[in-house]
Amino acid sequence: MRRALLVLIAVCGMFGREAVAQDPQFSQFYAAPLYINPAFTGSSEYTRFGVNYRNQWPSLNATFVTFSFYADHYLPNANSGIGMIVTTDREGTEGLQSTSIGFSYAYQLKLSDNLVFRPGVIIGDTTRDANFSNLIFASLIDPVTGAISGPTDPAVTGGNLQTSFLDIAAGGIFYSRNLFLGIAAHHINEPDQSLLDDSVTGINSVSALPMRLSIHGGYKITIGKGPLRKDLTYTYAERSITPVFQLKSQGPFDILDVGAYLHLEPVNLGVWYRGYPLSKFEMTNNNGTVQVFPQNEAMIFSLGVTTSDFNIGYSYDYTLSDLGIASGGAHEFSISYYLNFKKQERVPRDQWKIPCPKN
């Protein structure tokens, strides 16, 4: 049984390294506003509900499935936004699962006639759970009869390991009519995410979750006018191109998303690249030779529809790494819906907000 426990610790160590590698990510990061930066809370200036779903590498056993739901509301009298976000992430066939629930707040401060700053914060709780009920260790098999006995060690009884911790994030966004630039820090408190109980294992198993830093921004370029809108605003449909980027760093890993979106209201078309070609990683083969690989991860293509009440989008990641197209790439869906309870106070369509492709 002690041998089985050592194997279990090793497996948990691998999971710890996977968590260190990077947090769950969304290709449509612009459509997951509270996930990338709490300063986006209330940025739509309406009541907003949104869902994001991502299925990465569906053709492999090492699939990653992430689901996120968020809701936020703008308080015009307080120049503030309040919101909440629930995110679940499931990794691999044995189901290492993380679930986080956070509550967010952001304040809107007008610095000048052409510049606004929004700081924000999220405070939440994260639970990590590993289900080992389907694993069979060699020490559980009777060498004579072949019968399989259940685990008796308190570290693995029940087949589940679980931990929870406080998680804090903060960020800020500067924006004008056409430009936005934001920065965010997640896991500021670098909580211990280890699944093992030191009092049971007798091993110091502290595994700090590294802080995730990100910088994101974009610039909207108007390329003409569309037809007159049929909503009594007497304004024209938008025609624009918005180059955007997001640079993330967590632990020893860096990743860059860069691309552009073409908005031909109500249709959005997007293409961008994810990777970090300035950095390379090395791998030593069994024969001792070292191979160097550029960090090229994926090309992403997206299609979406935007109206005054909802946004819906789909994107596909074409894998550029050695996993190739056989991995199934990644499929991602997003949807957001806007409610306006006070029609007479509806924000005019020509009033400027954060110029994201979707906000």
- Rounded to whole angstroms, the Cα distance separating 238 from 230 reads 13
Please give the residue that has the higher pLDDT: either 167 or 286: 167
Q: Average pLDDT for residues 255-279, to the nearest whole number?
A: 90
Model confidence at 207, in pLDDT bands (50, 70, 90)?
confident
Give CA–CA dist 206/214, Å, rounded.
Answer: 25
| pLDDT-based confidence at residue 336 (cuts at 50, 70, 90) | very high
Beta carbons of 358 and 336 less than 8 angstroms apart: yes
Share of the chain above pLDDT 90, in %: 47
Domains of the chain: 2-345 (2.40.160.40)
The whole-angstrom separation of Cα 333 and Cα 313 is 6
Q: Among 112-121, 281-290, 317-326, which stretch is predicted with the lowest mean pLDDT?
A: 281-290
CA distance 41 to 119: 9
Helix (H) or strand (E) holding 89: strand 80-91
Span 211-239, average pLDDT: 87
Query: Model's pTM, two decimal places?
Result: 0.80
Give tens-digit pLDDT for 20-44: 446 888 999 989 999 999 999 999 8
Q: How far is it, in rounded angstroms, from Cα 203 to Cα 63?
A: 30
Question: Which tokens belong to 157?
Answer: 């009884």
Confidence (pLDDT) at 322: 67
In DSSP terms, 359 is beta-bridged to: none
